[in-house]
Structure 1
């Protein structure tokens, strides 16, 4: 059995790692994509060997930063999508999830650029693509509800994974453009969220048309008329 000292040490390591990740995020936001381990150590007020002791190498620390941002996205989804009322419209649910995503990206645009530059904000479909895997997990919750709606009318559900990949791909490309310079060009959070909402519905409606189904976005998933044959 593990003694209390081992448990306390584990808790201490977790707490120190979390503090170092927060310092890394601050350093990234201050120094940009070219941030170094020296910059991060200075921000954390620790030696570089301590960073290596806790993360192994820079790639390990970068992965921890990606995991932190992914966790923030998952937490955001829990208070939007997963808190959705049964009678809320699908459009409201999709809009609230996109707004939460855009707000988080808007709070940490430099970190998002950094993770994208290090291929840690991409979607691979393999479960190891980076932050986007958390987005995929959130989207799978919504995709499951679409699948149930299609099954009720005995429609082809094989289109769902393709639609999910299309939404993620276009959304991540748009996010990269937005964080790289779109915000400075005057595209604010509200406009960007509205764009993502309409392009998302464009993909959903296009997928539905492919299998001869129309979606009524103003209805809740539970409504029998949400998905209907064209």
Structure 2
């Protein structure tokens, strides 16, 4: 079933698509435009033109530019969280073998580097949104960070034996460092390879974390 029927007197320029397919296409187009031009410099006309759809079709999926922007932010946040979830999974799967604790820290750092590699400048929609003065946008942007921090904090409670308050602070520091390094690499990385960035940031973070692993935790390298 397609969802691209225009109002009388209008005509879609692009091919007809199923509703879910069209929504994904519009999100991809909006992501690119918002990332390169900024929220305030992109209009719904621009998005419809790039997507080769009429404005009635665009508004059928997203009633306003803000609704579209928030959907883009939500999708980016979900992708980042899924990447981090995969990184922390080994700890929750069972006892760690020698060297695996450091590998998990590296995986979290790699998650952020991988995210900015794929998302490019669109990663700034989560890290440096130009619309965060709007409370709705700020809440959505901060939600992604909060979810990632929460997941890492849960792991830290298990590994370090610290209370949740301490774990939240440690997790926020880890996230901020990984995010900052990833953003710096995206903008100024130059000849520094991703592997080298992961190695440097992981060494910095693991040196601190290794000393916090609780004595009775079944881990041979702490």
TM bracket (short chain): 0.5 to 0.7
Taking structure 1 as the reference length, the TM-score comes to 0.66
Shift of 1:103: 1.1
Does residue 19 (structure 1) correspond to residue 25 (structure 2)? The answer is yes
Shift of 1:157: 5.3
- Which secondary structure does the structure 2 equivalent of 1:46 belong to? coil
Shift of 1:35: 4.2
Cα separation, partners in 2 of 1:194 and 1:135, compared to 1, 3 Å: farther
Does residue 177 (structure 1) correspond to residue 177 (structure 2)? The answer is no
For the 8 Å contact 2:80–2:112, the answer to whether it is kept is yes
Cα separation, partners in 2 of 1:57 and 1:194, compared to 1, 3 Å: farther
Shift of 1:204: 3.8
User: Which residue of structure 2 aligns with residue 52 of structure 1?
Assistant: 59
Shift of 1:182: 1.2
Cα distance in structure 1, aligned partners of 2:123 and 2:188: 14
Cα distance in structure 1, aligned partners of 2:51 and 2:45: 10
User: Which residue of structure 1 aligns with residue 212 of structure 2?
Assistant: 215
Q: Which runs of 5+ in 2 are unaligned?
A: 1-17
- Which secondary structure does the structure 1 equivalent of 2:87 belong to? coil
Structure 1 residues 148-174: Cα deviation after superposition (integer angstroms, max 9, x where no partner)? 3443xxx65532111122223333333
Cα distance in structure 1, aligned partners of 2:180 and 2:63: 31
Structure 1 residues 93-128: Cα deviation after superposition (integer angstroms, max 9, x where no partner)? 1212321321121111121134523356xxx9xx93
The correspondence of residues 1-230 of structure 1 with structure 2, limited to 5 A, is 13-28=19-34, 31-33=36-38, 34-82=41-89, 85-86=93-94, 87-88=96-97, 89-115=100-126, 116-119=128-131, 128-130=139-141, 133-151=143-161, 158-179=165-186, 181-183=187-189, 185-201=190-206, 204=209, 214-215=211-212, 222-223=217-218
For the 8 Å contact 1:28–1:110, the answer to whether it is kept is no
Number of aligned residue pairs: 194
